[in-house]
Structure 1
C-alpha cells in the first residue's frame, strides 16, 4: 500500500493549505476592520509574520486576496443561513436564522463587514461575488420578513427587510464591543427581545 504524499510545504515548513488559511484569517480581519479601501497587505503580512511578496505569491494581488476572502466568508455564511430555513413557524425561523448567523460569526465577528463593505469598488475582483452573497442573504431575509409579517404591501415589506438587515448589522457591531457575549448568549437575548414584540 502506497503512502499518501506529504502535504505541500510552504514557507518555514508550514503546509501551503495551513499558510493560506492563516493569511485568509488575517486578511478577513483586516478587510473587516479597515474596509476594502483602507486594508493593508503589509499589515496582513505582518500579522502572519511573512513578507508581502509571499501574500502576493499565494493570492496574486491585493484584489485576488480580497476575492478569496469573499469566498472564504460568503460560501459558509450563506450555507448556514440557508440551512436554518426549515421551520414553518416564522418566529422559530427568525430565531434559527439569527442563531445561524451568530454561530457562524462567533470566532470571526468582522466577517459581516466584509460581506457588506460599501467601499469595494465595482471593478474589484470580489465585487460581484459580494453582490451575489448579499443578494442571497437579503433574499433569505426578505422571505423571512414576508413570513412573519401580516402586510402584503411591497413597500412595507421592503422597509421591514431593511430593518431586519439593519438590526442584524447593529447586533453584530454591538457584539464586537461586548466580546464576553457568546453566540448562544446573544441568541438568547434575541429570543427574549423577539418575544417582546
Structure 2
C-alpha cells in the first residue's frame, strides 16, 4: 500500500479516519434517519471536509451502507456467537440481550440503522437491511422454538408469535436505552434480569 493510501487527513492513518467517519456517520444516521442525516454534520463531527467523505465512501448511500454493514455484522455476529454457546433456553433471552447491549454500549444508534423507515425502499441499502433483519428474525425463531420446546410446546404459529413479540421487546428496550446514556450495558443487563425474574421467574 502506498503512503498516500495508508495515510488520511492531517497525518491520521486512513483506517483510523474511516473508523472515525463510520462512528460519526452511524450516530448521525441513527439520530436523524437516512433522509434527515447531513453529510456536512458528519464531516463536522470528524473534523474533516465534506469532499473527504465522498472521497472515502463515494456517496451518502455508500457511507450509509458502510455504517449499516458495520452495525449489522457486529450485531448478527454477537447474537450468533451467544446462541452457539448454548445454555438453558430460559437463560438465552437475557444472554442475547446482554450481547446486544455489550455490542452497542458505545455505539447505541447503530441499532436504528437496521430499522430506518426513511432509508431507500429498494436497492442495495434496502437489500442489506432486509438481510440483517431476516437473520435476526431467524435467531428469534430459533430461540422461541427452544424456549417453547422446553415447556412442551411446539406449535409453529405459537413460535412465530413469541418471536415477533421478542423482536418488538428488544427494539423497545434499545429505544429506552438510547435515551439514557448514563445506563451502561452492564446496568441495563442487570435491569432486564430483575424485570424478567419478576415477570417470568427467570
Judge same fold: TM > 0.5, yes or no. Answer: yes
- Residue-by-residue CA offset, 1:153-190 (whole Å, 9 max, x unaligned): 33332222121111111111111222221111111111
Give the alignment of 1:1-197 within 5 angstroms: 8-85=6-83, 86-149=85-148, 150=151, 151-196=153-198, 197=200
Deviation by residue 1:77-114 (Cα, 9 ceiling, x = unmatched):
11111011122411221121111001001001111101
Q: Which runs of 5+ in 1 are unaligned?
A: none
- Displacement, 1:126? 2.0
Query: Distance in 2 between the 1:66 and 1:5 partners?
Result: 27
Q: 1:176, 1:54 → 2: CA distance?
A: 29
CA RMSD of aligned residues (A): 1.8
Q: Distance in 2 between matches of 1:67 and 1:30?
A: 13
CA distance in 2, matches of 1:125, 1:30: 20
Q: CA deviation at 1:124?
A: 4.1
Q: Alignment partner of 1:84: what SS?
A: helix
Alignment: residue pair count: 194
Residues 39-81 of structure 1 show CA distances to partners (whole Å, capped at 9, x for unaligned) of 1111111111211111000000000111111111111111111
Asked whether the 8 Å contact 1:30–1:44 carries over to 2, the reply is yes
SS at match of 1:171: helix
